[in-house]
Amino acid sequence: MVRLDDLRRIYLLRDMPAQHLQKISSKAQLNIFSRGTVLFRKNEPIDYLYMVLMGQVALEIELSPELNVILSTIHPGYSFGVSSLVSGARAGSTAICQEPCELITLPVDRLAVLFQEDPDLGYQFMLRLARIFQKIMVNRTQMIMKTLDQHPEFQEDLGDLRHLAPVL
């Protein structure tokens, strides 16, 4: 069981009603991992949603035996392993603790049962995930458009892509 105060430190859950947090709390665990711990590897089944309370986790892929690229560094307050919510999903990257980490782990099979028992909890959870994904996509689209503005040579090959950028 995880304390409600700890769950409220996670952006995904921050403003969720207390009754939903209590249900999530009963299924979640608090874990401490040492630096260098591999939480999952690319292409492995992924069965947990992870939430960082302390430390940093790198999501990386291997481009060659000599070169790994960090796709993202997950900081306190953020979640990863969301693809675990999709049945049969496999990890798209390898997750490695970059320093000692305190993580909340939530088995997705238990989360799925919570969603079935309390559809409003499931709806509220997925609504928050959708908002997070929307922000990520807007930010990435803006970064791509900024890169294209700074490198007009790319635009010659791609044509006009401005219609892809959302209007804020």
Q: What is the mean pLDDT of each run of 10 residues along the chain (168 residues)?
A: 95 94 96 98 94 97 88 95 88 96 96 95 93 85 79 64 52
Cα–Cα dist 152/131, whole Å: 32
> Longest Cα pair distance anywhere in the chain, in angstroms?
56
What is the CATH T-level fold of the domain 4-159, as seen in this structure? Jelly Rolls (2.60.120)
The pLDDT score that the predictor gives to residue 146 is 82
The pLDDT score that the predictor gives to residue 36 is 97
CA-nearest of 103, 105, 123 to 114 is: 123
Task: State the distance between the two ends of the chain, measured CA to CA, in whole angstroms.
Answer: 40
pTM summary value = 0.82
The pLDDT score that the predictor gives to residue 162 is 55
* Tokens 């919510």, residue located: 85
